[in-house]
A and B are shown apart, each in its own frame.
Chain A
Amino acid sequence: MSLGLYVHRDSPVHAVPAGAKMLGLLVAGTGLLLFPSLPVVSSALGATLGLYALARLRPREVVPVLRLSAFVLVPLFVLHALLSGWVPALEAVLRLAVLLLLATLVSLTTRASDMLDALERALRPLARFGLNPARLGLLLSLTLRFIPLLATWLREIQEAQRVRGLDRDPFAVLVPLLVKTLRTADTLADAIDARCFDPEDPS
């Protein structure tokens, strides 16, 4: 299991700063909500596909990420078409598809740390209200880092409990997982301290 969607390439899309890409995504989302007509959405789709070509991503790197979207878009189109006709259904589904494609493009072409740095910078003005952007950024980074690790531990514990015939007992799996997670959290806090992270520094 991998949450690391970033695919490294030397492309103009990769070179755009993370903050600009995230802002662009926000502007595109707002624009598509305000102007949802079929010509606008079709043009946006064309432009988005152009950005994919510019990003030099291979289909095999994009398709697995987008495959999950089909599970939402196809039923949505069918339902919408039955209720309000195929033109509004096409508009709604294309609009959602463009947004998903753009969000995926940002994820595939931007390092998680760059996105978190941009988020930290954007949240910096909120430091005066007690929010610590550096801590929030680290929290999100750790979440990205540890979800795959938790999945690995879960699989290992399930295998160990299967040997004992306990794999169907949720407590037999969840309690060791919780204990392991808490123990790791202690060591991880030491590791973060050892690498000079300053929790009081809001920058």
Chain B
Amino acid sequence: MIQLHAVSHHFGERPVLEGLELTLTERRIAVVGGNGSGKSTFARLLNGLLVPERGQVLVEGLDTRKDARAIRRKVGFVFQNPDNQIVLPTVEEDIAFGLKNLKLPLADISARVTAILRRYGLEDFRHHPAHLLSGGQKQLLALSSVLVMEPRYVVFDEPTTLLDLRNKRRLAQAIHDMPQTAIVVSHDLDLLRDFDRVLVFDEGRVILDDVPSVALDAYVRRMA
């Protein structure tokens, strides 16, 4: 469970989040809203990449202000552009990066890397330079690099923005099949139709919190 209590945040003079009060327990949670509505800032609060100016974010009782390192083991983060999050030169090395940071034994690292490569059809690219992968393969690599660390929650910040239709479908399927809780910030409403809960953001506040059939339709009408 992730809880936000009275969370507010500003960038300079501009308020980006105002008085958020949320408890996230569902398995699939969507976050939508216009540009600048605060949804990406909200996503960064969930694993302690950003600490709120006021209020508290708790992940299974741990406070992001005090326990950021422990929280990052529980909450993975997939960024919009995979090129900005692939750290090491080859596919295998990049997937192993997080596991090495967790100080796992080499045999465990190798076994986990093999399993995740197989799960996402990347076995043939194990020793491939990461920058030579296609856009869809890079996003799957980014997802693999996060999931291999076995977090309980995965936050996605607009993961399908740079993908073509086929790769969007592959990523949607991957999110659907994940055992973890997924919190997905996206403008791609088709991706979010079968989610359990939708939060609609506007000017730093949650203006609607409901199931997709209600919240997404209301959001579309609002943006028309």
Tell me whether A and B are bound partners: yes
Q: Are A113 and B101 in contact (CB under 8 A)?
A: no
Q: What are the residues of chain A within 8 A of B44 when measuring CB–CB?
A: 190
Q: Is A27 an interface residue (CB 8 A)?
A: no
Interface residue A142 (Cβ < 8 Å from any Cβ of B): yes
Judged by a CB distance under 8 angstroms, whether A149 is at the interface is: yes
Whether the Cβ atoms of A196 and B69 lie closer than 8 Å is yes
A128 interface residue per 8 A CB criterion:
no
Query: Which one of A6, A142, A144, A195 contacts B101 once the chains associate, using CB atoms below 8 Å?
Result: A195
CB <8 Å contact, B149 and A2:
no
The count of A-to-B residue pairs whose CB atoms sit within 8 angstroms is 91
| Complex partner residue of A184 from B47, B77, B84, CB under 8 angstroms | B84
A195 touches B149 (CB 8 A): yes
Q: Flag whether A111 is at the interface (Cβ < 8 A).
A: yes
- Asked whether B73 lies within 8 Å of A141 as measured between CB atoms, the reply is no
Which residues of chain B in 56-115 are interfacial with respect to chain A, using CB atoms and an 8 Å cutoff? 69, 72-73, 76-77, 79, 81, 83-90, 92-93, 96-98, 101-102
Q: Which residues of A contact B145 (CB under 8 A)?
A: 195
Q: Which of B16-24, B126-134, B189-197, B198-206 contacts A (4 or more CB under 8 A)?
A: B126-134
Tell whether, in the assembled complex, residue B98 and residue A4 are in contact, meaning their CB atoms are under 8 Å apart: no
Known: A2-B129, A145-B86, A196-B72. A187 touches B101 (CB 8 A): no
Known A194-B47, A195-B145; contact A145-B88, beta-carbon cutoff 8 A: yes
Question: B98 and A141: CB pair below 8 A?
Answer: no
Given A145-B87, A187-B79, A188-B85, A195 contacting B146 (CB threshold 8 A): yes
Q: Is the CB of B98 within 8 A of A196?
A: yes
Give A148 to B128 CA distance when docked, in angstroms: 14
User: Knowing A149-B83, A187-B81 touch, does A113 contact B73 (C-beta < 8 A)?
Assistant: no
Q: Which 8 A-B pairs have the closest CB atoms?
A: A191-B85, A4-B129, A195-B98, A8-B127, A187-B84, A113-B93, A194-B77, A196-B101
Given contacts A145-B86, A196-B101, A198-B69, 9 further A-B contacts (CB under 8 A): A111-B127, A112-B90, A141-B89, A145-B87, A145-B130, A187-B81, A195-B97, A195-B145, A196-B73
